[in-house]
Amino acid sequence: MPWFSLQAESIPRADIEQACQRLLDEARTRLKHDFRRVLLLPPDLTRAHSGAGWITETLYNLLPKSCDIHVIPTLGQHVPHTEAENKWMFGSIPHERIHAHDWRNGVVRVGTIPAEKVKETTGGKADWEIPIDLNTSLMQEPWDLIVNVGHVVPHEVLGFANHNKNYFIGLGGKETICASHLAAGVYGIENNLGNLITPLRACYNWAEEKYLGHLPDVYLQVVMKRDPQNKLVHTGVFVGDDLETYLQAARLSREVNITTFDQPIKKIVAHMQGDEFRSTWVANKAVYRTRMAMADGGELLIIAPGLERFGEQPDVDKLIRKYGYAPTREVLELYKTNADLQDLAHGAAHLIHGTSEGRFTIRYAPGGGHLTKADIEQVKFAYADYEETLKRYPIDKMKEGWNTMPDGEEIFYISTPSAGLWSTKQRLERATSA
């Protein structure tokens, strides 16, 4: 069970700061020692809207000044933060205390999730082992306390984000991330979304119990929802060191972060914030979180003012440009015969996640002038001019949800797709019963 939890329509920041102090007091009592070296593991800036930055800063400042505190944003294979981005997200925490995770060269082999376990959990759709390579500092340096800070929200790979995702993806190595994402991809994104325990989550739970039980860790999980003024507010805080801590948070997220419809939607307009989403690797959350609501033959228009590239890493960017977001069957056939897809299997999984399978049009309106019409169409997306799109769909004037445009067009507007999941009732019921 969780050590403690908070739930309310809107939890004030002061109450969350008090929860941070209570977490440290409770950890000191349970672990029966003072904290000399502490590791804080927040998400990266693509989760900045969750408040994880100021929560991490609060924990940092509540710890004794004599404590040796280090922060590793759980980047996975995302681009490391600049000093300015660290200051923007983590405030007063000194830059030299914040370390970039190196998913290629900064990991150590911890163990393996056997192929038999992967095959069992995925119903035979994936039948390979998943090596567990984790951040070297996490595993080899002495820590008196490790605090995982995270936002629990529907997720395309793990059903719901956070909990041990911070370890196995956020601090994972290349082989772990590749094998994991491909397993989740072939199992099916729509079979993962909205499920409390997906096959990959079951594998990670097994690996955490087997390989990480010695870590002096605790999870601080937040759940958010939109208030009547359409502002994202904290509605749940769950603190504990067990699976039930995650499950309680995920159940609340399933209740408040999933919007269902009786009928599929013909046109969705989604806005991906420019200060958080600079690649389609992360901006495609607009695709993942809305695909179960999209009508066949419909259109998803993604307004992305900060879009600069496709992949988070140059080699993955090159891969996406080469193959594009093709249907699953096509990607899997290409995977069998192309070494670059096999070497970057998480990239192959990303291509699978980002396709509409030909059901609906995915149209990007990129700002900033970094990606041209030819670039967007090269990866099998449709293109829209950014300035013209903003004239027709003014994101500063549209309301969350249904809007009727001046010419009578009906569209559904989502300002923060990464904060939820949208689905028809029928598709969600089918997915969560799988």
Per residue in 221-278, pLDDT (tens digit) is 999 999 988 899 999 999 999 999 999 999 999 999 999 999 999 999 999 998 889 9
Instruction: Specify the pLDDT at position 432.
Output: 67
Distance, CA of 84 to CA of 266 (rounded, Å): 40
Q: Name the average pLDDT for the chain.
A: 95
What is the pLDDT averaged over residues 354-370? 96
Residue 40 has pLDDT above 80, yes or no: yes
Q: How does pLDDT run across 170-209, given as a tens digit for each residue?
A: 999 999 999 999 999 999 888 999 999 999 999 999 999 9
Looking at per-residue pLDDT, the higher value among 52 and 346 belongs to 52
Structure tokens at 81: 């933060």
Q: HSE of 295 in the Cβ direction (CA atoms, 13 Å)?
A: 13
Q: HSE of 245 in the Cβ direction (CA atoms, 13 Å)?
A: 24
Residue 131 · residue 201 · CB < 8 Å: no
- Element holding 30 (H helix, E strand): helix 13-31
Name, in order, each residue with C-beta under 8 angstroms of 140's C-beta and a sequence gap of 6 or more: 108
Instruction: Specify the pLDDT at position 66.
Output: 93
What is the pLDDT averaged over residues 416-431? 89
Residue 384 has pLDDT above 80, yes or no: yes
Taking CA atoms, 310 is separated from 315, 318, 333, in Å, by 10, 8, 22
Tell me, letter by letter, the H, E, C secondary structure of 44-102: CHHHHHHCHHHHHHHHHHHCCCCCEEEECCCCCCCCCCCHHHHHHHHCCCCHHHECCCC
Distance, CA of 434 to CA of 413 (rounded, Å): 29
State pTM to two decimals: 0.91
Residue 90 has pLDDT above 70, yes or no: yes
Instruction: Specify the pLDDT at position 189.
Output: 87
Domains of the chain listed by start with CATH number:
4-256 (3.40.50.11440), 261-432 (3.90.226.30)
Instruction: Specify the pLDDT at position 431.
Output: 65
Instruction: Specify the pLDDT at position 270.
Output: 98
Banded pLDDT at 32 (limits 50, 70, 90): confident
Residue 41 · residue 47 · CB < 8 Å: no
The maximal CA–CA distance of the chain, rounded, in angstroms, is 66
Residue 255: count of CB within 10 angstroms of its CB: 12
Structure tokens at 414: 């989502």
Phi, psi of 68 (to 5 degrees): -90, 100
Banded pLDDT at 21 (limits 50, 70, 90): very high
Q: Give the strand pairing for 37-41 and 361-366.
A: unpaired
Banded pLDDT at 433 (limits 50, 70, 90): low
